Amino acid sequence: MSRRGTAEEKTAKSDPIYRNRLVNMLVNRILKHGKKSLAYQILYRAMKKIQQKTDTNPLSVLRQAIRGVTPDIAVKARRVGGSTHQVPIEIGPTQGKALAIRWLLGASRKRPGRNMAFK
């Protein structure tokens, strides 16, 4: 018997300082080799740096950055007859945020330097 319909939706936990799910999602993507405390240190150092440079709430800056990168549609390959076509498909808000976070962290990891908080 399939258990597909019985699985509950996972609720994302919030981080200890900002009490925000988005920050927790970002920490979980920064995470490497299971070192969550190091990922929190990196993110909180980056947030402190944003606070010092802009004199605004770093959480709103983070939300604005993710909102700017979040895609609305994605292109999926669809096979019709003997040829393959690119078909645009709408992306849900959760998947869009996940893509945006992945792209932002990928871009920051490509930047030169050792300190991840400043990237």
pLDDT of residue 1 exceeding 60? no
62-84 pLDDT, tens per residue? 999 999 999 999 999 998 888 99
E strand or H helix at 102: helix 93-110
Its pTM surpasses 0.85: no
Chain length of the chain = 119
- Where do the domains of the chain lie, and which CATH numbers do they carry? 21-110 (1.10.455.10)
What pLDDT does residue 49 have?
93
Rounded CA separation 28/7 (Å): 22
What pLDDT does residue 8 have?
57
pLDDT-based confidence at residue 45 (cuts at 50, 70, 90) = very high
11-27 pLDDT, tens per residue? 667 788 888 889 999 99
Rounded CA separation 118/85 (Å): 41
What pLDDT does residue 9 have?
59
Which percentage of the chain shows pLDDT scores above 70?
Answer: 90
